[in-house]
Structure 1
Amino acid sequence: MVLRPTASTWTQSLDMPSQLFGDRGSDDYELYEEDDKFVLTIDMPGFEHEEIDLAWDDGVLNVAAEHVDEDRGRKKTYHRRFRFPKTVDDDEISAEYTNGVLEVTLPTAAPDTRGKEIPLEGE
């Protein structure tokens, strides 16, 4: 039986960065929680403000962007979904795009400690 090295194994032996082969991992964003809010920053150079779309749907933040460079005949796209483990106050989500960096602030909502009331039947 012949074992073939994975791409990451043989690139490590050649001392080549994995970005050459498209394995970017999570290098383009940072997510942390502080003071009852999540802060997400994403490096998105080359996009214009109006080319970025953000949507919140049931605990998931969807980030999408598309830029067309007609002079070079190229199209650049970005799409990523982020799921959050806590309840977010979706009315208070804010975002800012400055110098190629998107920053989204997602305040966490106070959990409802009562939960959902269950009707009791019987006598």
Structure 2
Amino acid sequence: MSRNPFDEIERMFDRMSNRLEPFDEGVFEGSVAVDIEETDDAYVVTADLPGFDRDDIDVELAGDRLTLSATHTEAESEEGDEDGGRYLRRERRQQSVSRSVRLPEPVDEDATEAEYNNGVLTVTLPKEAEGDSGHDIPIN
């Protein structure tokens, strides 16, 4: 009986995908590696974004999905730098990274805070209080 090598590869992918955390979207080229810490009352997402300015970074929370993105574009100049030099090769014109993670439970969007210091972005997402998850609907 001959074995199909693709069946073994498929089983390997299934085993790998079962090990991912429920809120992990995976790290791909051009994405940001993140640490997600859970405390008693919040989730803290930390991402290294060296080389970006505060204005280059966008943090968006939509429902249970947090999206971090950053784009940096260098000044376009074929003349060279301010010292009068001339570029022979210029490969660092634009850098763009992004990452989206799904949060395992609702968070308080109004109390969410983001801080960027020395190339490290820290987003603190307070968990929603149990009583805040909805409201009563009167029955007529």
Alignment TM-score, normalising by the size of structure 2: 0.61
The answer for the alignment partner of 2:114 in structure 1 is: 95
The reply to whether residue 44 of structure 1 matches residue 49 of structure 2 is yes
Percent of aligned pairs with the same amino acid: 37
The reply to whether residue 55 of structure 1 matches residue 55 of structure 2 is no
Q: Deviations over 1:59-102 (max 9, x none)?
A: 11111110012364521001111111111000000000111100
Cα RMSD after superposing both structures = 3.0
- CA 1:66–1:117: 2 relative to 1, 3 Å: same
Letter aligned with residue 85 of structure 1: P
Correspondence 1:1-123 to 2 at 5 A? 28-70=33-75, 72=90, 74-112=93-131, 117=136
Letter aligned with residue 102 of structure 1: L
Say how many residue pairs are matched: 104
My pick for the range that moved more, 65-74 or 35-44, is 65-74
Q: Which has the higher strand share?
A: 1
Secondary structure of 1:91 counterpart? helix
Contact 2:43–2:125 (8 Å) recurs in 1: yes
Contact 1:87–1:111 (8 Å) recurs in 2: no
Any unmatched runs of 5+ in structure 1?
A: 7-21
Alignment TM-score, normalising by the size of structure 1: 0.68
